[in-house]
Amino acid sequence: MVELRGLERKLLSALNTLGGKASVLQAVKESKLPDAAVMRSALTLEAKGLTRIREEKQTIARLNSEGKAHARKGLPERRLANALKRLGEKAILEKAVEKADLEEHFVPIALGWIQRKKWATLDAKTSTLRLREKLEEGNDEKVLKLLSEKGQATISELGEEFQEAIQLLKKRKLLNVEKKVQRIIETTEAGQATIKEMKKAVEEVTQLTPEFIITGKWRKMKLQKYDIEAPVAKTWAGKKHPYLQFLDEVKKKLVALGFKEMVGTVAETSFFNFDALYTPQGHPAREPSGVYYVKSPKYCTIDAYTQALANVKKTHENGWKTGSSGWRCKFSVKDAKRLILRSHTTCLSARTLLSKDLEIPSMHFSIGRCYRPEVLDKTHLTEFNQVEGIVVDRDLTLRDLLGVLEKFAIDIAGADAAKFVPDYFPFTEPSVELRAYKEGYGWIEFGGSGIFRPEVTLPLGIEVPVLAWGLGIDRLFMMKAEIDDIRQIFSLDLDWLRRQKVV
């Protein structure tokens, strides 16, 4: 006979009692073993050829709170019909409702279904309900009663005659239907033969107890061997979220390239988010449809940046000494102090350029959360992450910028190719949009970039070229992980999370 451990014997005995086939839940109940022990023993028995484990997709029906209430009191139409019967099979609607003790919101439901089921007729002129002769129990009521008794049931168990009733109750929002995968353990022919032999064999023990030693029973017992090669149930160790791993990986690569990290708060002034970046104060991006405004406090002081504020104000109004004509509009200092949730991390670049500690040449980056009232879809969220970068040095050109962006797309996102499309941003000129391609995934837009305009750099005291880019790092990860819906990144899909590799 195949050598079996105590738990394996218990599981085989339980399966034998259950007819040679059972779900894990049934096996746990019958064997009185923990579910982990049942699965571990089932895997070991499967390796020995004594059991088979297969998965069955099942649709489970379960009553919700309203369904349970109707199972207990009766469907609204049944309660109304019973009240009519007690009133002599004919009554004014108002009186029948009062007799049925129906809640107000159930009255139109009861009236609609009692006529639909042809249990009663309503005389619209006199508002009189008249009961018909036969009030047979419907399949919907039978299903309610059955589910109330069992708690839940698979739709296949309920039989074909109840399928229509299940759909009807689902439409009436009285029950919930969910799909589940259930593991079924069944014994093989070899397993059945082993069960027969088990009844004759001497039971093996896995541990010596004080009782066995004191009574001397241990002399007659067979001690079970420990099988170090026995398979165990798969476990899922804790690990960092794959997206957080990716962010750490990007940070390490940028630091290794000589970039310094820029940090800042998510609540930002309109001055750094828009004005210092030469975005006109009447720009649509500054409307409530394009940015989140902080309700309280509404304004923040920017007294520490008096000179920069004056320079930016002149640049907006008449171009100052930048060679531009400006936006030719009155600049509001009050609007510049308005607090918002940052809509991009480029505001950190503006703060860095204004810093007294800025070195030339230098390279800086940030990875931060941004907020925009976007319409949610496969590529847009109201909260998203952006990787921002600037390079400050003399003699920089657009070719240098394109080289940095291509490295991002290929080395960090794992793209096969990258291309650049002319674009427009108020704060860069020239401006380009980065798009990347991956075999089997297609093209995806990552974000914008360019060289900061003099209207941005000169008011902040910078007289050398500044390369700048802001890319959606969520989309970089989408390509890396080969997912096509940005919402998947933040989902609670355990199966997807478990399948992600630890970097």
pLDDT digits 0-9 by tens, 436-461: 888 878 888 888 999 999 999 999 99
CA distance 24 to 185: 7
Residue 326 lies in a domain: yes
Q: Mark whether 131 and 260 lie in a shared domain.
A: no
Determine the average pLDDT of the residues in 317-346: 94
DSSP 276: G
Which residues neighbour 321 within 8 Å (Cβ) at sequence distance 6 or greater? 458
Q: Measuring CA to CA, which residue among 70, 476, 502 is closest to residue 250?
A: 476
Does the pLDDT of residue 371 top 90, yes or no? yes
CA distance 45 to 52: 8
3-state secondary structure of 457: helix
Task: Give the DSSP per-residue string, 449-462.
Answer: EEEE-HHHHGGGT-
Q: Tell me the CA distances in angstroms from 68 to 179, 394, 415, one per residue in order.
A: 21, 75, 54
Instruction: For residue 429, give the amino acid letter.
Output: E
- Domain's final residue, options 88, 110, 136: 136
Task: Give the DSSP per-residue string, 278-301.
Answer: T--TT-GGGSTTTSPBPSSS-B--
Residue 304 lies in a domain: yes
Residue 74 lies in a domain: yes
Q: Mark whether 132 and 250 lie in a shared domain.
A: no
pLDDT over 90 for what percent of the chain? 36
Q: Mark whether 396 and 266 lie in a shared domain.
A: yes
Backbone angles phi, psi at 382, to 5 degrees: -75, -25
pTM over 0.75: no
CA distance 220 to 213: 11
Residue 371 lies in a domain: yes
- Domain's final residue, options 136, 162, 194: 136
Residue 162 lies in a domain: no
Range of the domain at 317: 244-499
The total domain count for the chain is: 2
Q: Mark whether 298 and 436 lie in a shared domain.
A: yes
CA distance 419 to 437: 8
Structure-block tokens of residue 282: 């009447």
Per-residue confidence (pLDDT) for residue 230, from 0 to 100: 66
Determine the average pLDDT of the residues in 218-247: 78
Per-residue confidence (pLDDT) for residue 197, from 0 to 100: 80
Q: Mark whether 123 and 265 lie in a shared domain.
A: no
Determine the average pLDDT of the residues in 469-493: 86
Does the pLDDT of residue 207 top 60, yes or no? yes
> Given pLDDT bands bounded at 50, 70 and 90, which one contains residue 136?
confident
pLDDT over 70 for what percent of the chain? 96
> Given pLDDT bands bounded at 50, 70 and 90, which one contains residue 503?
low
Determine the average pLDDT of the residues in 338-367: 94
Instruction: For residue 461, give the amino acid letter.
Output: G
Does the pLDDT of residue 495 top 70, yes or no? yes
Secondary structure element (H or E) that encloses residue 91, with its range: strand 90-92
Average pLDDT, the chain: 88
Which residues neighbour 427 within 8 Å (Cβ) at sequence distance 6 or greater? 277, 278, 279, 346, 450, 452, 453, 455, 456, 468
What's the CATH number where 396 sits?
3.30.930.10
Structure-block tokens of residue 308: 């920069």
Does the pLDDT of residue 233 top 70, yes or no? no
Does the pLDDT of residue 321 top 60, yes or no? yes
Q: Bigger pLDDT: 125 or 255?
A: 255
Per-residue confidence (pLDDT) for residue 309, from 0 to 100: 96
Q: Mark whether 421 and 287 lie in a shared domain.
A: yes
Q: Mark whether 416 and 287 lie in a shared domain.
A: yes
Does the pLDDT of residue 283 top 70, yes or no? yes
Residue 292 lies in a domain: yes
| Strand runs labelled E in 330-396 | 339-341, 362-371, 383-392
Q: Bigger pLDDT: 162 or 344?
A: 344
What's the CATH number where 97 sits?
1.10.10
Per-residue confidence (pLDDT) for residue 202, from 0 to 100: 55
- Domain's final residue, options 110, 136, 162: 136
Does the pLDDT of residue 231 top 70, yes or no? no
Residue 24 lies in a domain: no
Residue 441 lies in a domain: yes
Instruction: For residue 180, give the amino acid letter.
Output: K
Per-residue confidence (pLDDT) for residue 211, from 0 to 100: 86
